[in-house]
Structure 1
């Protein structure tokens, strides 16, 4: 007759449940998969499928007692680690959203806003365009596969029960300034060109005060802004690659125990 002890049952449960919480937290917070566009049930099924695939290759899990406070602490730790990994990717995507907002303000399209289904707020149309662009580039370059690889490696570099979370909070807080710098780097040529256009209109107004600058300058700034944005998109791939590489490298460094 087969007899199972509480320790054996707890170990078997921990070997699946604890990784499931970390995987689920990543999928609930990361871009693309963690947006309201993907139903929560689909994300849960996807998390179950990923966990079933990676569990056989994971290191040994600590013994867990179901009704013990330590089990809740381990579950909370996995949720926090997964949320940190997912939120770090959100910073990379938000850099493009901020870049679109900056261009929209400079070219006079800040009033043209629409509901962003991924974030649930109203953003400028240019920001929404940049969001769709970075999403397609991220998927086409298999960035999501790199994220899943880092997630699997995190169970070795950040083993369950290690409690190594303090440094990662500080790393994430220090990364917020990188978002604004990356956004400015993306749109610096367009912002500079639009600044020259606005200065030119200012000189025209000074030279011919009777010229109605509001009826002429606004549509011209809008049209020239769209042309400048269109020309700048030819180099968007060269700008995306170093930023994506840096973001994914930082994600890998974030998952390492220090």
Structure 2
């Protein structure tokens, strides 16, 4: 019977609500956790379960807070998940950007399909690279590292007291490298497509009867896919380095 007053204590309820909002920011903005294939009801149940599981680690005495203070504290918790998730979203966006460049150069821009992960229409090559990137992230125990960072944040960042200072440098560097890294991933495909266009142009000059649309177009796509298979390991070496630096920056922010 003594547990009922403990659970209904105002301070404990506020701690649980703020912890619930911290996990809500993670499940709403972090890659893999924000998967559109997961229904909102299941995601809400996961957020509640994680808040209950991590509640013993949130040993705070917040005391009495006004409604305005509680709203501001809840906003800080959501902003914490948003800013941390944005770091990882930038890394995954690099892969998507390189995939779109590859699709454009291969002439597969119109070959787009519904992406169940992002919930939008995307080129097929970009979807393939994004799903492989997600598998690489999971192989690095990305989802477990995120939960460990949240557990660490409960000791280093008080609930409702998040202030982001050290993450600005990472955002500037990541946004500055966004196009450079994305273009460098797609550069071998762009180069081989440009080289094949030059060769086909020379063939058209010497043999005007050569049917470029019937022969050249599928040949370019086949060559590009062969090169893509060859360069996939180097692409995901870049991706792994970027995601490790993003996780390190999140650890510094927490």
TM-score range, shorter chain: 0.7 to 0.9
Matches within 5 A, 1:106-117: 106-117=105-116
Cα deviations by residue, 1:183-215 (Å, 9 ceiling, x for unpaired): 223222222222222222223233444433333
1:158 — aligned with what?
Answer: 157
Distance 1:61 1:20, change over 3 A: farther
Query: Retained in 2: the 8 A contact 1:89–1:251?
Result: no
Provide the C-alpha distance between the structure 1 equivalents of 2:233 and 2:246, rounded to a whole number of angstroms.
Answer: 22
Query: Retained in 2: the 8 A contact 1:27–1:86?
Result: no
Provide the C-alpha distance between the structure 2 equivalents of 1:103 and 1:228, rounded to a whole number of angstroms.
Answer: 11
Long gaps (5+) in structure 2: none
1:17 — aligned with what?
Answer: 17
TM-score by length of structure 2 reads 0.87
1:232 — aligned with what?
Answer: 231
1:58 — aligned with what?
Answer: 58
Distance 1:127 1:113, change over 3 A: same
Task: State the shift of 1:142 in Å.
Answer: 0.7
Query: Retained in 1: the 8 A contact 2:15–2:159?
Result: no
Cα deviations by residue, 1:205-249 (Å, 9 ceiling, x for unpaired): 334444333333212111111111122224444333222212222
Task: State the shift of 1:140 in Å.
Answer: 2.0
Provide the C-alpha distance between the structure 1 equivalents of 2:112 and 2:15, rounded to a whole number of angstroms.
Answer: 47
Distance 1:121 1:173, change over 3 A: farther
| Counterpart secondary structure, 1:100 | helix
2:101 — aligned with what?
Answer: 102
Query: Retained in 2: the 8 A contact 1:91–1:179?
Result: yes
2:201 — aligned with what?
Answer: 202
Distance 1:250 1:180, change over 3 A: farther
Long gaps (5+) in structure 1: none
| Counterpart secondary structure, 1:82 | helix
Distance 1:208 1:31, change over 3 A: same
TM-score by length of structure 1 reads 0.85
Alignment coverage as a number of residue pairs: 251
Give the CA RMSD over aligned residues. 2.6
1:247 — aligned with what?
Answer: 246
Provide the C-alpha distance between the structure 2 equivalents of 1:16 and 1:161, rounded to a whole number of angstroms.
Answer: 12
Task: State the shift of 1:114 in Å.
Answer: 0.2
1:82 — aligned with what?
Answer: 81
Distance 1:251 1:180, change over 3 A: farther
1:40 — aligned with what?
Answer: 40
